[in-house]
Structures are given as C-alpha cells and as structure tokens.
Amino acid sequence: MELTRIQHTSISFISSFALRCAVDLDISGRIREHGRPMPLNELARSIPIPPEKDSMLLRLMALLVHQGYFVQSEAGYQITPLSEHISTEGSDVGAYVRLVTEVQLLKDWDRLSDVFKDTSKCTLIDKLYEGKQFFEVVKEIPKFGNLYNEAMASTSKSLMRGLLARYPHIFEGIKSLVDVGGGTGAAVRIIAEAFPTLKCTVFDLPHVVENATKTDFIDVVGGDMFQKIPPADAYFLKNVLHDWADEDCIRILKQCKEAIESSKHGGKVIVIDIILDSENDDPKAVETSLLLDISMMCLHGSQERNKQEWHDIILGAGYSGYKIYPVQLGVYSVIELCP
C-alpha cells in the first residue's frame, strides 16, 4: 500500500498531460458534436488518428473514463459534466489546463529543493528567467502572456456562474463596480449580463486591457492598482491577492478603500480567493488548495491563506469588518469587506 501511494504521487503528472492531450484533441467537443455515444473507431477517425494508433487512444480513454471525464458503454463514449468543461467550444478550463502543463512553467520544478536551500528570496521563476518576476515574464513573452490571459478568462466562466447562482445579492444595489486586475474582462462581462444596469469597469495594466472589450455598460481603464484605482461603489478582486505578499495585499486593499471613500457612496470590496481549511469535508479540495499554495510559492513567491491570515490582512488594511460566505465555490470562498 505504501509503495502504491508513493508510485501514484510520483507518476500523477501523467494525469495532467493525459488531460492536456484530451483538450488538445478536443475529445469532449467531438463526442458532444456526435450527439450520441461515440465508438472508439469513429472518435479516432474524427481527430484524425491513424488506425494503427487506435489501441493507444483506447488506453488514453481508459484512464479518462476511470477519472470521470467520460463514461463508456457498449455503444461508445459519452461526455460527463466534468468533460463539458474541457471542450474547445465554450471551454471553461481548457486554456487553464494548457497553461499549467506549459513546458516553460514546468521544466524547473525539479529544482524545487534548490529554492529551499537558496539564502535569497528566489522563486522557480527567478531561477528560470534570471531574476524576473512572473508578471514580467508574462508581459515580455506574448505567447505565454496570451495563454495566461486565456487561462484566467476560461476559469472565470464557471467560477462566476457559481458566484452569481449562490450569491446574487452581493451585487444588488450597486451602481458601479471596478474589477481590479480584471484581465481581459471575462468576469465583468458575466456580471454585466446578470446586472445590465450596473456600470462595470475592467481595470488592469495597460498592456493587459488592450484586449478587453468596451461596451455601453463596460468601461476599460489601464493603470497600476498600487498607485490609483478608479472610484466606484464596489471593487471586485478575483484570484488577485493570492499573487502577492501580505504587504502588497494591504497596499491594494488600501487603494480600494480610499477609492470607495472618495466616491462618497459607501460601498464594499468583494474578494474571491482560496481560504486554506484543513477541516474541509472534501479531501480533494483540501489537497487542491495545498497544491495551489505550493504553486503560488514557486511562481510568485506568494501564498494561499487561512482565515487568520486573511483576517490580519483585511484589518491591517483598515477595514471595519468582513464576512466570509460559508459555501465554497469549489476551492474558492467569497469575502465581503466593509470599509
């Protein structure tokens, strides 16, 4: 049993690349387009795969079926709610799968022990790109930057749908909202569709918002969240603060608080991020959170945080109080901050 567990952990990276393969071949999209259970040979020809490699596809599908991405019957393969999220058309997380399996991000993970031994505050990105920070790399390598933006936009879809389904009241009564670090505006577009009278603004670095779409209800503003944030009733930060050290998070939240105060409308800050919780009833969610914490440590030199750490940051930024919504959005929670 001990050996099996060690073997499983050691080779689990294969699952990542098997999933990447399914995304690249758009297996989910092909089966969905087929409209009925799809036999192996028809799936193979649709990709297309040479007949002599059908047995390889069979073995790949065996793993993906075991992991719940597809189901198999005598009639063929069918998609599941899980594989719905990795089809090319309307994909929620296909781009995210490509990002986290990107060789440029993975090739130095075998040097993780060196990071621990190094007396400086280096990260794996520092070692790989000679002292540059993650977001500097994203900016300087367009291909990588585009993939990152696509990945962040793709995960926004299911996350935002879950947020609006569970907590629509969070956005009720708000007249204006700024999505701080909003990327290309994927999250804001979903909010604007649900609340068409809400004036939304996508706010991010100028080179990032170049690809954001401006509409009658969505404005696009380029700037630096550490310097000044546009005034609004409310501020939205999704998967932003976990990229930054505690002191940077306090600076960002202070900027939001000052902008709310200058608007003279009261207001709030809405944070979607991970809260580490070892008592979570879902062991897969706990492990995923811990893996993401290691990822933040290696890529950004930052971290995921537990409730006490969030408490210290929020009060350290001068907020009068906050509320954590108990129902999690997968591994994510919603924190509503009061100025």
Catalytic site positions? 242
Q: What DSSP designation does 212 have?
A: P
DSSP 278-300: TT-S-HHHHHHHHHHHHHHHHHT
Of 197, 270, 258, the residue nearest 231 (C-alpha): 258
The answer to whether the beta carbons of residues 290 and 275 sit under 8 Å apart is: no
The answer to whether the beta carbons of residues 204 and 231 sit under 8 Å apart is: no
Q: Which residues pair with 178 in a beta bridge?
A: 201, 235
The answer to whether the beta carbons of residues 114 and 120 sit under 8 Å apart is: no
In whole angstroms, give the CA distance from residue 186 to residue 42. 35
Instruction: Find where tokens 């879950």 sit.
Output: 162
> Rounded to the nearest 10 degrees, what angle do helices 142-166 and 186-194 cross at?
30
Task: Provide the 3-class DSSP secondary structure of residue 180.
Answer: strand
Task: Provide the 3-class DSSP secondary structure of residue 301.
Answer: coil
Q: In the structure encoding, which two tokens stand for residue 241, read together?
A: 């603060």
To 5 degrees, how large is the angle CA 297–CA 298–CA 300? 70
